[in-house]
Amino acid sequence: MATPIWMLELGRTGWRLHASRVEDHALIASAKFAERDLVAQAEPIEAALVADGYRGEAIVLALESDWCLAATLPIDRPSDLRDRQSMLYRLEEWIPWGTEDFVADFLAVNGKALAVAVPCEPLAAFIGKLAERAIHVQTILPVALLGALEHSQRGDWPTHHTIAFQRNAWIDLLSIEGATPTSWCCLPASGAAIRLELDRLAIDRGAPIRLVSYELDASVSDELRRSPSVQIVTDPPTAEIHLTDLALSAAMKLLEGRIEAPLELKQGPFGRNRGNVALRRYAVALQAAVAILVLSAIAALVYRGHAASRQAELIAARQVDVFQSVFPNSKVPIGVATRLRSELAKLKGLHGDDSTLPNSVSAITVLEGLLKSMPADKRFRFLEIRIEEGRLYLDGETRVHSDAEAIALRLRAEGFEVSSPKTQRLDDQRVSLRITATLPSAVKLAMRKSP
């Protein structure tokens, strides 16, 4: 069975622990308490979680409206929210707490910022006690905002509308633009009080308020239907959905990473939000993959280092063999490579700084190749035959131009590298010829003739 998602719904005088699984949502524990005993509630909450299979997973702390104060502040641009301290000072003018006594966050839309504040104490001590018992609160949000977040995921609502959530003797009113709350207030569940607030909102907007209600009492609904400032757009099935069910669905999506919280109260004295828990398993897998990659790289480097060390030993042994073959009567020095480089420098001093010694070709070999290549069916004479380091220079006469080319072809057949002959008509009977050819070294010649 999949691990459930837990949501702790906390009021000033009671808590309710909910678990959301794939197959259902369930209330697994609840308790009433005096506000002064809030911190002591960590123990029964831990017991209820452990009994339901809790193993240190993240939970959502959903605060009931009696913990929260809200205000809508005008802002010039969304970047104003970056200066949080200034925003906190501005909010301080609207609520009866000093900036050091509350935690707040802001949600901006269309030149306004919805500010939500909750008192630091006793909530900070309570959250700290939960942390001591290894209960990780991932995110802190009001129940009403969780409900509004899930409400926006369901249905195609008007761009501007108001949500009404009734919880016992209280009703939460949230104005929505697009999918974002812009104002929030909590009022007694009185038709007259709600109608008065909606009339005020209608005057501010200059248009009737489109209302989506959840679980309103019949008397409140009847009062609102008589108001010309209100247009109720709730379908009957929607009116029967409980706020807790909406909030629990939103909590599940938040922890699974399918949606993002509109604002976050897990900050300051309440601790820091540790990021998206839904990605934690993937982060662990990534860390494991990185560790495996690092270990593999280390193993590869160790192996290559060992192979390089072995290769160095073989090279050193080969250097010793070379030294002993070249200097059989000398003792092998400690720095064999240095001694060999010194001897090589001496050889370069004798033969030049060429990296390879020239491959000499015997003049007899060149002459033999020339004689073999002479055509027996042609008449010609050579005035000069010159052989230098495998190079052959011919200067002579023949009858026609094609005879010179025939001689070049025969030389090529004997392995010479022959450039195009140079010929010139001397008279009706003679054509001068000049042929330059090179006989490669024996090694190159053997490589060329090999199949």
Spell out the CATH class of 5-275: alpha beta
What does the alpha-carbon distance between residue 367 and residue 325 come to, in Å, rounded to a whole number? 37
Assessment of whether the complete model's pTM goes beyond 0.95:
no
What does the alpha-carbon distance between residue 186 and residue 122 come to, in Å, rounded to a whole number? 21
pLDDT at 31: 93
Q: Which two tokens stand for residue 117?
A: 């504040």
Q: What is the CATH number of domain 363-449?
A: 3.30.1360.100
Q: Which two tokens stand for residue 155?
A: 């249905």
> What are the sequence ranges of the domains in the chain?
5-275, 283-351, 363-449
Q: What are phi and psi of 159, to 5 degrees?
A: -60, -45
Could you tell me if 59 and 136 are in contact, meaning their C-beta atoms sit under 8 angstroms apart? yes
Closest CA to 165 of 275, 242, 236: 242
Closest CA to 421 of 389, 382, 366: 382
pLDDT at 310: 87
The one-character DSSP state at 212 is E
The one-character DSSP state at 297 is H
For residue 279, the SS3 value is: helix
Q: Which two tokens stand for residue 52?
A: 């339901």
Sign, Cα dihedral of 89, 90, 93, 94: negative
pLDDT at 227: 86
The one-character DSSP state at 277 is G
List the pLDDT tens digit at each of the 451 positions of the chain.
467 889 999 999 999 999 887 667 788 899 999 988 999 999 999 999 999 888 888 899 999 999 999 999 988 877 777 888 888 999 999 989 998 999 999 988 888 889 999 999 999 999 999 999 999 999 999 999 999 998 888 878 888 889 989 888 889 999 988 888 988 999 998 888 888 888 888 888 888 888 888 888 888 888 888 888 888 887 555 556 788 888 888 888 888 888 888 889 998 899 875 554 445 556 667 888 888 999 989 998 898 888 888 888 888 888 888 888 877 777 888 777 787 788 777 777 665 555 554 556 778 888 888 888 888 888 888 888 888 878 889 898 988 888 888 888 888 888 889 988 888 888 888 889 899 998 876 444 444 444 4
| E strand spans, 49-111 | 58-63, 69-74, 102-109
Other CB atoms within 10 Å distance of the CB of residue 34? 9
For residue 434, the SS3 value is: strand
| Contact partners, residue 278, CB within 8 Å, separation at least 6 | 255, 256, 257, 258
Closest CA to 20 of 252, 224, 265, 332: 252
| Contact partners, residue 153, CB within 8 Å, separation at least 6 | 250, 253, 259
Q: What are phi and psi of 280, to 5 degrees?
A: -65, -45
